[in-house]
Every structure is written in structure tokens, then in C-alpha cells.
Amino acid sequence: MTSIAADLFMHPQSCVIEEIVDEQDTSTSSSEQESASSSSSGSEEQLDPQLQQLIAECERLKQEGNALYAQGEYDGALQLYWQAIDQAPEDAQERAVYLCNAAACYLKKQDWQLACEQCSAALKINGSYLKALVRRATALQELDDLEHALADAQKVVELDPGNAWAVKTVTKLTPEVQARQEKLKEEMLGKLKDLGNSLLGKFGLSLDNFKAEQDPATGGYSIKFNQS
């Protein structure tokens, strides 16, 4: 297990199974939770009885999954979460929670790619879902996709400036991503130079025969040829 994965146990807010939260709470704190009954009571009045029954069944599956998750039975929990995911309406906020809970199981199983995919699906439903952003950032770090992991952590800081995990992650990843980008730029320039030299070599020339000089007055550049 890597240090990133170990942080899941040191920072339980990144993988704890949660109840659905009201939309206005998703941008405040990643640790705030509410019961499904209190969060959906206002919307249930507008749902038809058949849909209410469907959501209630999905919530029952989620609760059973939560119980298995708490016991460390992640495969069993996943089966129940996926039943809820398959039955829930595609755009339901509850479905985002089921997807994110499934992602928590995949993180525990160290299946980083599947964890990332479930978080992405949850974020399509709720783009400000903090737990999904945290879990996807964790999975992306394990997949060595630091640039996108940093973007997710920065989004968490934007939504929840007091999130200690996100602030620490942004501080850690920013110089690493910058260093990688600089290295990539140097590698690309080196390849371009090699390509240019291979073409100019046919005429007995190289890029060393050309020099870019900046005009201090205009700031523009001119290319001068030097036959050596």
C-alpha cells in the first residue's frame, strides 16, 4: 500500500460512507452529513408514489451496503451499491452518493481506475460533490495522473477552503506538476531540435547555424544565419 492509500485510513473523511446531503451543503464541508430521510423529505412531496418507492428501495440497498462496508466486506457492499445504482434514476442526487460509495469500496480494494470512473460518474450528476472530488484525486494520484489530481484538489479548496486534506494535497502536488511540465517541455523542444537538425543536415546545416536575436526596442525577434 502506498503512502497515498495509507492516507485513506489517516484521513477517514476521504473514504467514509455517507448519507446524501442537500445541494446547498455540498459546497460547505466534506465532513457534513445528513440522513437520507431529512435530505429528501422536501423533494419527496413532488415525487409520484412509484418513484418514491423506487428511491426508498435504493436507500434500503445503500444502508445494507453501508453495514457491509463497515464490516470490511467490500465486495458484498459493492453488489448492493450497484443494485442501487442500476435502479436509481440517472440524474438523481441519490445515485451520485451510491456511485461515490462504490468508489470508496474500490479505493479500499486498491482498484484505482474503477474508483476514478465511479467518482467521475457521480460528478456528472453533481459537479460540486466534495467526497467524489477527494476520492477521485486520491485515485488519480495512485494512477500517477498528478495534473488531474491537482485540479480536483484545487476544486475542493475552492468549494471548501478549510479542507485540510485538499490544502495539503495542493501544496504537495503543485511543485511536482510544475516540474513534470517543465521536463515535458524540455523533452519536446529536444525532439523538435533533433527533427530540425535531421532535416537541415541534408543541406549541411544545423539549428546552430541560426540564432534568434531580440530587438530591445520592439521586443520582437529576428533570425540571423551564421555560416560556420
Each residue of 2-50: pLDDT tens digit? 555 445 434 434 444 444 333 323 333 333 333 333 344 344 456 688 8
> How many CB atoms lie under 10 A from the CB of residue 19?
19
Task: Supply φ then ψ for residue 173, to 5 degrees.
Answer: -80, -30
Q: Is the pLDDT of residue 134 over 90?
A: yes
Q: Is the pLDDT of residue 53 over 50?
A: yes
pLDDT in tens, 151-167: 999 999 999 999 999 99
pLDDT score, position 207: 59
Considering all CA atoms of the chain, what is the largest pairwise distance in Å, rounded to the nearest integer?
Answer: 86
Mean pLDDT in the chain? 79
pLDDT score, position 213: 73
Nearest to 85 by CA among 105, 71, 110, 107: 105
pLDDT in tens, 92-106: 999 999 999 999 999
Pull the grid cell for residue 118. Answer: 465511479
Q: Is 130 helix (H, G, I), strand (E, B) or coil?
A: helix
DSSP codes, 29-79: -TT----HHHHHHHHHTTS-HHHHHHHHHHHHHHHHHHHHHHTT-HHHHHH
- In order of 70, 159, 216, the CA distances from 56 in angstroms are 21, 30, 72
Cβ atoms of residues 18 and 70 within 8 Å: no
Q: Is the pLDDT of residue 73 over 60?
A: yes
User: Under CATH, which number does the domain 3-146 receive?
Assistant: 1.25.40.10
Residues pairing with 82 in the sheet = none
Nearest to 43 by CA among 20, 27, 63, 26: 20
pLDDT in tens, 165-219: 999 999 999 999 999 878 777 767 666 666 666 666 666 666 566 666 777 877 7
Instruction: State pTM to two decimals.
Output: 0.67
Q: Give domain limits for the chain.
A: 3-146
